[in-house]
Chain A
Amino acid sequence: MIVSKKSCKVLVTLIVICLSISIITIGVKTLTPEKPELVKKIERLLNISGEAHFIFIREYYDPLWERKVIWIHWKTPIHNHGIDVKIDAISHEILFYSNNHKRCILLAGSDIKISQNKALEKAKEFILKVSSIPPDFILSNCTMVKVRGCTQEFYYEYLFEWSRIINGISVEGELIRVHLHANTGEVVGYCKIYHGDKPMNSEVRISRDQAISIAKDFIIKKQEALIERGYPFAHLMIKALQTAKVEVKLKYVRFRSIQIEHGAPKGLWLCWIVKFTFTEDFLANKWVKIYVQATTGEVLYASSCK
């Protein structure tokens, strides 16, 4: 069989084109991770747009939820904004959602177009779509925050928080939070931290005044020890304590992992939270919070400003 030079050239060209297409396809497949079914399901549920590129899925232990979670991350072409979802590794309940693409100042305006009531309605709708509001949760906070956008221009977000209540006393450390863009009315963030465990103590044997006195003693002793150890400015707080404003709240507290790492006990505790706000010089507006166990009077944790 005689093959002409021309047809030979055509044949070689075709082979080269086919090979190039195969190499490019293999390359793209290697670089783009395959989308698991779970990711597709989440994309459908949260209406994550097609222009968002799935980047990774990762299972790990998250100390914030004290359990294994699956973290899914997407990126969008405008400003490389990230979209993140964290779900419970076992139940697949959505625990966290953050969509910076929907916050992008180039896509969403900065003026307020949605009323608070409408925003609350949308926030509730969102929670019911992705999860549920436990029966012991009540709406505890409705605020509007001014956020610096990606182009430095400010925009507004509604922040709604539902907190757990036990016998009429609120719980610190368990909540549902929804962030809603005040211009578009879209939910741009969501976080649910709920453990539902029983309190370690529930009887109040220490009075409010006793709690203040315990807290004051604790601070003075701690600062005196610091002075002895050579802390050059430890005396400032003892002086400032004399004129500090005092606020006291009775709350159930579930200490966060970062607090447990620094000595706070695990579990849910009924505490007097005694807050001293200073008024003098450098310490002005700074505060110290002492967590006094309401049954025994033990100081469980001390929190201070930077």
Chain B
Amino acid sequence: MPLRCNYLRKKNKLKSPHVLALLLVCTICMLCCGFSIIFSAPSDYPAMCAGCDPITGYDAWASNDAQETHNYLAYWGYPLEADDPFTSSEATRSAILDRIEFKRVFYFSGHGGIVNGYTVFLAWDGYVYSYEIDERVSVSNSYFFVFIDACESIAEIDMASAFIVSPSEGCYVGWRTPVSWESATEFRRYFLEYIDYTGCSVYDALIYVANLTGNYSWDFYGAAIDVYLKQGSLGGAD
């Protein structure tokens, strides 16, 4: 019996307040490390916004779309370059393609379509083909959120694939069919406003706006239900 008592005393000594505090600190550190791997804040995702219309003269709409999206992203904490958004004649192919490699969030407002079997969007000085994005984006800089606010930007899957949007952690939003400037702008405006007010997922915002406008021409690829633009990845609103 005395042996056992000594053992217990030793065991109790080990559970002194200092050791407990140390254990607690270690646990908190481990949890923080774990969370930082699972959850990412907006500040982890460099963003870029661009908009132009070199065909139909809705350039003011495109610029305004890019500016308003830029404002929301900046407000939510996404890092943006000082000269962002790139609008009108500044939204050139090189301005976009030179930066695309270093970003994780991208918004473009303008014309889009299918050319020679590739999904394209129209920069001020020419088409940006999906394969050109593909050449610049790798798994290490896969995108968190992309919205190509242009006609037929998700009619095919090649543009979404080019941005290597993770099917479980990121999402790509686009239009399946041709869409008018006012419908798209209205949609984008309500979409961002709803996310800002409710802190909801991209999916919930898409459905809400479809309900409000009757517009179901959008589609998405990836985990729209787990992408919380306001909070970062997998960051629930509540």
Tell me whether A75 is interfacial, beta carbon within 8 Å. Answer: yes
In the complex, identify which listed stretch (A6-14, A113-121, A147-155, A202-210) lies at the interface while the others stay far away: A147-155
A82 touches B216 (CB 8 A): no
Contacts of A122 in B (CB 8 A): none
Given contacts A80-B201, A286-B113, contact A64 B214 (CB under 8 A): no
Contacts of A161 in B (CB 8 A): 214
Q: How many A-B residue pairs have CB under 8 A?
A: 135
Distance of A80 Cα from B151 Cα, bound (Å): 30
B180 touches A304 (CB 8 A): yes
Given contacts A55-B198, A148-B219, A148-B220, contact A231 B54 (CB under 8 A): yes
- Mark interface residues in B3-16 (1 if CB within 8 Å of A CB, else 0): 00000000000000
In the complex, identify which listed stretch (B25-33, B41-49, B99-107, B204-212) lies at the interface while the others stay far away: B204-212
Given contacts A80-B200, A231-B55, A233-B55, contact A305 B186 (CB under 8 A): no
Contacts of B127 in A (CB 8 A): 282
Q: Report which of B56, B122, B211, B237 forms a contact with A191, defined as CB distance below 8 A.
A: B211
B61 touches A262 (CB 8 A): yes
Distance of A180 Cα from B134 Cα, bound (Å): 39
A258 touches B182 (CB 8 A): yes
B200 touches A237 (CB 8 A): no
Tell me whether A98 is interfacial, beta carbon within 8 Å. Answer: yes
Tell me whether B169 is interfacial, beta carbon within 8 Å. Answer: no
Main secondary structure of the interface of B (DSSP, over half): mixed
B238 touches A98 (CB 8 A): no
Given contacts A80-B238, A82-B208, A222-B57, contact A306 B216 (CB under 8 A): no
Question: In residues 123-159 of chain A, which contact B (Cβ within 8 Å)?
Answer: 145, 147-148, 150-151, 159
Tell me whether A164 is interfacial, beta carbon within 8 Å. Answer: no
Tell me whether B197 is interfacial, beta carbon within 8 Å. Answer: yes
A306 touches B182 (CB 8 A): no
Q: Which residue of B lies closest to A175 (CB)?
A: B214
B125 touches A286 (CB 8 A): no
B214 touches A191 (CB 8 A): yes
Tell me whether B58 is interfacial, beta carbon within 8 Å. Answer: yes
Tell me whether A112 is interfacial, beta carbon within 8 Å. Answer: no
Query: Chain A's nearest CB lies how many Å from the CB of B212?
Result: 6
Contacts of A232 in B (CB 8 A): 54, 124-125
Query: Chain B's nearest CB lies how many Å from the CB of A200?
Result: 20
Tell me whether A303 is interfacial, beta carbon within 8 Å. Answer: yes
Residues of A at the B interface (CB closer than 8 Å) are 53, 55-56, 58, 64, 73, 75, 79-82, 84, 96, 98, 100, 103, 145, 147-148, 150-151, 159, 161, 175, 177, 179, 188-189, 191, 222-223, 225-226, 231-234, 236-237, 256, 258-259, 262, 281-289, 303-306
Residues of B at the A interface (CB closer than 8 Å) are 54-61, 109-113, 115, 120, 122, 124-125, 127, 149-151, 175, 177-182, 184-186, 189, 197-198, 200-201, 203-204, 207-208, 210-212, 214, 216, 219-220, 224-225, 236-238
- Known pairs A75-B200, A304-B180, A305-B181 / 14 extra A-B pairs, C-beta < 8 Å: A53-B238, A73-B197, A75-B237, A80-B238, A82-B200, A98-B208, A98-B212, A147-B216, A159-B214, A189-B211, A231-B59, A262-B61, A285-B178, A286-B151
